[in-house]
Structure 1
Amino acid sequence: MQDFNISPVQKSKSLTNELAESLRDEILSGKLKRGEKLPSSKTIEEQAGVSRSVVREAVAQLRAHGLVESRQGAGVFVTGNNPQKAFVIDCVEYESIHNAINILQLRMAVETEIAAKSAVLRSEEQLAEIKRCMVEMEGAIAQDLESADEDLNFHLAIAESSGNPYFSRFIKYIGSAVVPGRSLVTAEMNATERETFFNSIQDEHRDITRAIELGSAEMASAAMKAHLGASVKRHESVAKKYAAVKA
């Protein structure tokens, strides 16, 4: 790999889009070649002058365009320099509270079926993985961390136990919507409010896990619908506050 050099992003622009564009240029120009590992998140953070969450969102955007792929325990690797022309939700769309609500409704339509399939088809090992992801999220909440990665892993574990690989691919793709949408809701919260917010989500996760463990497709689907429906309401509440401030 040639010397990696990303310029600091312009604060007047979307940090995520600006960084994603810079990384895309490195790939399309051939500086980052197919099969090469992307520099570490810390390296990109330092060179671009952005936070870890911005790096994560920018990489998710590249992944959605088929330019990189994540390999568990190994990092993020360049897959090619021909962006896929397919269904795409750009990260900038997540920055709108109304778009975040629309994406949650899309997730609800798909993930209720995912949960139902998981309840019927999951193995004991897959159930253990779902529970492990819950424990990891509890640890992140206890440390007042963002917990978006842990939340995504929980939903991905359910998808991977559904018996349909396309469900897993969908969650990996749409998962990048979790972070920006959540930050819109938690931005003005204090520590106590954040703890209450995340504990509510975790209670909903427990209901989903319990239904999957019981093997009830109907209960699992209903629990997932309740969880994502509650997320929609949380976002709608924030949207109303924004509207009241502007009025």
Structure 2
Amino acid sequence: MDSLLQTTERLSDKLAALLQQRIESGELAPEARLPTEQQLADLHGVSRTVIREAVSRLKSMGMLTSRQGAGVFVSPRSQARALAFDPAVLTSMDSVLQVVEVRRGLEADVAALAAERINAAKAQAIQDALAALEASPPNGAQGVEADLAFHRSIARATDNPHYERLLGFLEQYQRDAMQVTRTNEAMDHGYMVQVQREHRQIAEAVIRGDAAGARRAAMRHMVNAAARIENATPPVRRTLDALLTRPK
């Protein structure tokens, strides 16, 4: 087990930094295949969720890439500067809302383009992701992952891989807020019904090829998501503040 992970800071951030260091030092060479999720979890003494979050972050930075059926590999050397937000600056409700604001326009464009390029296979993938989301627990990490997977299924339907990468990059900064707000929503049946309706409206508009309707539905969902964060109850805000201000 790697002793560097035995700290109070967020494990996925620590693991991502550790893997990044190994890639940059050449210890993990370009084109090298990473161990499986379970092997990495056993090696570092963390959950597979932590592994997924760390790997997702490095993918969004262009340092790792997935190959279907083969696994995750270190990307070839590149002189391009990776896009990155310092997690240390995301320490307040306002900073979370700023990330939601960035996602708002992006999600609207993604939904509209997905609607324009929809086909039967993509529609089935979106329906499957929506069904998995609606069947997932309303709170906890599993529900958050299902929520993010639904949005990625729509990004994938655009046939533009950069949209999926951009959403993957942003989602790493929202997992904590989403877990807290989904827990809050689970305690209020009206909230949960509204969120489910919003997801279904996005999916239905995309699947029927209604680009304008998909854009409106996605925009409305992100505006409402920001409002749900802003209107969170004091206990929920305290929980979120505690997560945001813990050592990074």
Do these two structures clear the TM 0.5 threshold for a shared fold by scoring above it? yes
- Corresponding position of 1:46: 42
1:14 counterpart = 2:14: no
**Paired AA for residue 237 in structure 1:** N
1:116 counterpart = 2:112: yes
Q: Which segment is superposed worse, 60-69 or 73-82?
A: 73-82
1:217 counterpart = 2:211: yes
Q: TM-score, structure 1 length as denominator?
A: 0.79
Give the alignment partner of residue 54 of structure 2, picking from 51, 58, 62: 58
Matched residue pairs, number? 240
Q: How does 1:32-181 map to 2 (within 5 A)?
A: 32-80=28-76, 84-93=80-89, 96-141=92-137, 146-181=142-177
CA distance in 2, matches of 1:70, 1:244: 34
CA distance in 2, matches of 1:186, 1:104: 15
- Corresponding position of 2:246: none
Report the CA distance shift for 1:179/1:245 in structure 2 as closer, same or farther (over 3 A): closer
Shift of 1:109: 0.9
- Corresponding position of 2:187: 193
Q: Which segment is superposed worse, 139-148 or 127-136?
A: 139-148
Q: Which segment is superposed worse, 173-182 or 30-39?
A: 173-182
Report the CA distance shift for 1:89/1:139 in structure 2 as closer, same or farther (over 3 A): same
- Retained in 1: the 8 A contact 2:12–2:53? yes
Q: Which segment is superposed worse, 205-214 or 21-30?
A: 21-30
**Percent identical residues:** 27
Report the CA distance shift for 1:73/1:229 in structure 2 as closer, same or farther (over 3 A): farther
- Retained in 2: the 8 A contact 1:137–1:150? yes
Higher RCO, 1 or 2 (CA under 8 Å, sep at least 6)? 2
- Retained in 2: the 8 A contact 1:19–1:58? yes
SS at match of 2:142: coil
Shift of 1:77: 1.3
- Retained in 2: the 8 A contact 1:65–1:83? no
CA distance in 2, matches of 1:245, 1:140: 22
1:233 counterpart = 2:227: yes
CA distance in 1, matches of 2:96, 2:170: 11
Shift of 1:125: 1.8
CA distance in 1, matches of 2:111, 2:101: 15
Q: TM-score, structure 2 length as denominator?
A: 0.79
User: Deviation string for 1:198-227 (max 9, x for gaps)?
Assistant: 654332111111112332222111111111
Report the CA distance shift for 1:75/1:234 in structure 2 as closer, same or farther (over 3 A): farther
Report the CA distance shift for 1:144/1:61 in structure 2 as closer, same or farther (over 3 A): closer
- What runs of 5+ residues in structure 2 fail to find an aligned partner? 242-248
User: Deviation string for 1:114-156 (max 9, x for gaps)?
Assistant: 2122222311221121111112223333896623333233222
Report the CA distance shift for 1:40/1:106 in structure 2 as closer, same or farther (over 3 A): same
